[in-house]
A and B are shown apart, each in its own frame.
Chain A
Amino acid sequence: MTLLQRTLAIVLVALMGVAFAQFPERTIDYVISFNAGGESDITARLQQPFLEEILGVNVTITNRAGGGGAVAWSEAQRSMRPDGYSVIGVNLPHIATQPMERTDTGYETENFEFITWFQFTPNALLVRNDSPFQTLDELLAYAKENPGSITIGGSGSNTANHIATLQLEQLAGVDLTYVPFTGTGPTVPALLGGHVSALMSYTPMAVMQAGQVRTLAVASAERLSFLPDAPTFVEQGIEIVSGAHRGVAAPPGTPPEVVAVLREAFEEATRRIAEEQEEMGFAIIYVSGDEALELVREVTEEYAAILETLQ
């Protein structure tokens, strides 16, 4: 090796080191696969100023809605550059169930570099304040006598809400009618207007609508600090612990050093908005690294098993 070659090699290595040490040095694009104004979008916009402060660069939020998130997720795996300057919000069980039910989603569940899962919203079974059902038992007893006549509204098909309703049917041995709505938003007037008997929704809805609804059960392992009076399904003898997770991932092939920088930034941003988030009914989690992929696998297995019993 000549001196020139050696010098070049050293310079190159140094440059690479500098390149990684300095990540990020320009604007990071944070893609959200849902419309502006949704919970995923609002969470990202809450994180945005803190991410900018921590990372020292601009962070722009790009909404790429479509196909229940699938359009953006397939692009992340097909054409996004794996350099850390593009990250994408990911949602469970969406990324687990969509490839199971559709052949053309264009992405694979595990083919992301998961940065961190930062938010968990357990399912919650809600009825209107003036509903005759005071407890979960009363609702289930009525459902047993009148098969199919209890209608349960929820967000979407093959979603966390839908699957939790199916689990409830199986575990309690009752026949419920699940009515899917296009998102959590339209479920509220459906419940308040008496068009459905109950909602399988998420805990933020239980918190926000606290004055108008009663929470019969939440699908968390233990009672939640922000809904202390709401009993869990588990303590009422029904083993349902489920909900939706939100997190962020990088396109496959993003260097681990870069992922590590992003992970720290997102965890810190999450810590700074944790208090507001909990007040709004979101459970804050910090599931990163190997655990993040582990969570994806767990959820995928669980939902595959439930969807199989359906067919």
Chain B
Amino acid sequence: MDVLGAALQQLFIPYHLLLVLVGTTVGLFVGAMPGLSATMALAVLLPFTFTMDALAGLIALGSVYMGAIYGGSFSAILINAPGTPSSVATTFEGYPMAKAGRAEEAITAATIASVVGGLFGVFALLVLAPPLAAFSLRFGPPEYFWVAVLGLTLIGSLSSGTLLKGLMGGALGVLISIIGVSPIGGESRFTYGFPALQGGVELIVALIGLFVIPELLVMAGTGVGALAKSKLGTARGLFLSTAKKVLSMPGNLLRSVIVGEIVSVIPGAGGNIAGLLAYNEAKRWSKHPEEYGKGSLEGLVASESSNNVTVAGSMVPLLTLGIPGAPPDALILGAMLMHGLRPGAELFTTQGALTYGFILSMGVSAIVMLPIGLFGGRLIYQAVVRVPPSFLVPTVASMAILGSFALRNSMTDVMIMLALGLLGFVLKEIGFHPAPIALGLILGPIAETGFVQSRLMGSAYAIPYFKLVESPLSQVLIALSVLAIVWPLVSDWRRRRAARAGGSK
């Protein structure tokens, strides 16, 4: 408690609070730009933190990180473009809501959900870091493989309509993810002699292409802006009514933040997987699964609350074990090492004031997201709605190109983005949703890496593949995957039986 007191004293000096405010705001705008990721923002910031004192540097980095993950939801809701990969699942409900004239409600709900998620993550990091870190270590290559398989079962719930098209989309995504140098083995695949293709298809580039370009083409073709004008009342009234709606689903919030926490402490699985899994769980337990895909507030809240848990969640393995839980954490680790801070138990004892100050600053950052986000979100929303399509389409298109280029400073990536955009447009016209393709892209490499590594680890076994099913945790994940496949069939069967019983009366 003494440590917490000292930490609070250090945190609540104006300079540090200003850093939180500025950092969160900057992060928010970076995150809202498709293609500018949290990792890039932290990389640019890193050299500046060397000259700051350790706490100030970490506060700046943590706040930008928190703001960026949240900021990704703006572009997800308003232009169907996940600003960072973490907000993939946000597009599923956020954009339909915006199309139906509920953009402000969606932004408000995303903001409140993000604050809840961010605060929960900080709370868990403060209270549960050591046991969570121990838990995260139980995930080895076989478990990663099964996490990816569990994630792939989501295709069932994402392919609204035909399962076959969903599965084909997922397979296409996995195939696209195979392009480039293989993660294990180092051979180049499907590069057709082009050195530039060794880099493969970067996730965010594919997301921009598949999600944004088809929307733009439709907008250009019809000449109508995608977003209907909002018919709702005052900002204050909207905030209160939305807050009430979001907070009246405590089950959904709790489930989503727990999913987010579990996923984020596993190194290598980040906010995108957290958002997708939480979304899937929300849909599975929902009383109104038919609303999903058409603008379900529940789905949006699930995605946004869980992905903001991951900011503090991924610090669990970082601070306790020195393992960056997600790419941006590697930069925070860099800053810590520069200031002579070694991850481990010492951070929480002798360096306690500093470490807890840093953790609490992320909580403050989560809270200041509320005013900044509501104000900033309103500005961005009005800009998007007021601008006529003839200006909006080229503006968003140049943002898409800029974002694709900026990620790896590569024109090849821009070409890939445009090619996938055209492909996505054609596929959408014949009834394929981009979500299963994105899922295949995200999870394909994780599944592949886990599978090959498990096979190698089992080399000394009579049947090497036994390694895949050996651990109890693997078996639990297998059971969950089976359940995820069987559950929709059972509930479907039940509903049909109920309908028949109702009809025969």
Given A151-B457, A193-B137, A35–B39 Cβ distance below 8 Å? yes
Shortest Cβ gap from A164 to chain B (Å): 16
Q: Which residues of B in the span 156-215 have a Cβ within 8 Å of any Cβ on A?
A: 180-181, 183-188, 191, 193-196, 198-200, 202
- Specify the chain A residue showing the minimal Cβ separation from B413: A66
Among B186, B187, B317, B459, which residue has its beta carbon within 8 angstroms of that of A189?
B317
Are B344 and A212 in contact (CB-based, < 8 A)? yes
Among A38, A49, A70, A196, which residue has its beta carbon within 8 angstroms of that of B50?
A49
Determine, out of B292-300, B304-312, B331-339, the stretch whose residues face the partner at the interface: B331-339
| Bound-state Cα–Cα, A188 to B198, Å | 26
- In this complex, the member of B322, B324, B345 whose beta carbon has the largest number of chain A beta carbons within 10 angstroms is B322
Check A167 for interface membership: any CB of B closer than 8 A. Answer: no
Check B342 for interface membership: any CB of A closer than 8 A. Answer: yes
Among B47, B180, B410, B412, which residue has its beta carbon within 8 angstroms of that of A45?
B47
Check B321 for interface membership: any CB of A closer than 8 A. Answer: yes
Point out the residues of chain B lying under 8 angstroms from A148, CB to CB: 459-460
Are A195 and B140 in contact (CB-based, < 8 A)? yes
- Chain A, 243-287, contact with B by CB distance < 8 Å: what is the 0/1 string? 000000000000000000000000000000000100110000000
- Chain B, 478-504, contact with A by CB distance < 8 Å: what is the 0/1 string? 000000000000000000000000000
Shortest Cβ gap from A237 to chain B (Å): 26
Check B101 for interface membership: any CB of A closer than 8 A. Answer: no
Check B409 for interface membership: any CB of A closer than 8 A. Answer: yes
Q: Which residues of B in the span 265-304 have a Cβ within 8 Å of any Cβ on A?
A: 267-268
- Specify the chain A residue showing the minimal Cβ separation from B456: A179
Are B43 and A102 in contact (CB-based, < 8 A)? no
Given A71-B195, A179-B456, A186-B267, A209–B139 Cβ distance below 8 Å? no
| Bound-state Cα–Cα, A55 to B408, Å | 26
Check A211 for interface membership: any CB of B closer than 8 A. Answer: yes
| Bound-state Cα–Cα, A223 to B140, Å | 33
Among A42, A66, A180, which residue has its beta carbon within 8 angstroms of that of B453?
A180
- In this complex, the member of B180, B199, B267, B327 whose beta carbon has the largest number of chain A beta carbons within 10 angstroms is B199
Point out the residues of chain B lying under 8 angstroms from A42, CB to CB: 46, 330-331, 334
Check B141 for interface membership: any CB of A closer than 8 A. Answer: yes
Are A66 and B136 in contact (CB-based, < 8 A)? no
Point out the residues of chain A lying under 8 angstroms from B194, CB to CB: 104
Check A21 for interface membership: any CB of B closer than 8 A. Answer: no
Shortest Cβ gap from B489 to chain A (Å): 34
Shortest Cβ gap from B62 to chain A (Å): 15
Are A37 and B39 in contact (CB-based, < 8 A)? yes
| Bound-state Cα–Cα, A160 to B413, Å | 29
- In this complex, the member of A179, A188, A195, A212 whose beta carbon has the largest number of chain B beta carbons within 10 angstroms is A195
Check B225 for interface membership: any CB of A closer than 8 A. Answer: no
6 closest A-B pairs by beta carbon, nearest first, are A66-B199, A106-B195, A67-B198, A195-B140, A37-B330, A36-B43
Identify 18 residue pairs between A and B in the complex whose beta-carbon atoms are under 8 Å apart, listed by A's number. Answer: A35-B39, A36-B331, A37-B334, A45-B46, A46-B50, A66-B408, A68-B186, A71-B195, A71-B196, A102-B186, A102-B188, A177-B457, A179-B457, A185-B323, A185-B324, A188-B321, A189-B137, A195-B457
Given contacts A102-B187, A179-B141, 13 further A-B contacts (CB under 8 A): A37-B43, A37-B324, A61-B43, A63-B409, A67-B181, A71-B410, A74-B195, A75-B195, A101-B186, A102-B181, A157-B185, A189-B137, A189-B317
- B residues apposed to A, CB below 8 Å: 39-40, 42-43, 46-47, 50, 136-141, 180-181, 183-188, 191, 193-196, 198-200, 202, 267-268, 317, 321-324, 327-328, 330-331, 334, 337-338, 340, 342-345, 408-410, 412, 449, 453, 456-457, 459-460
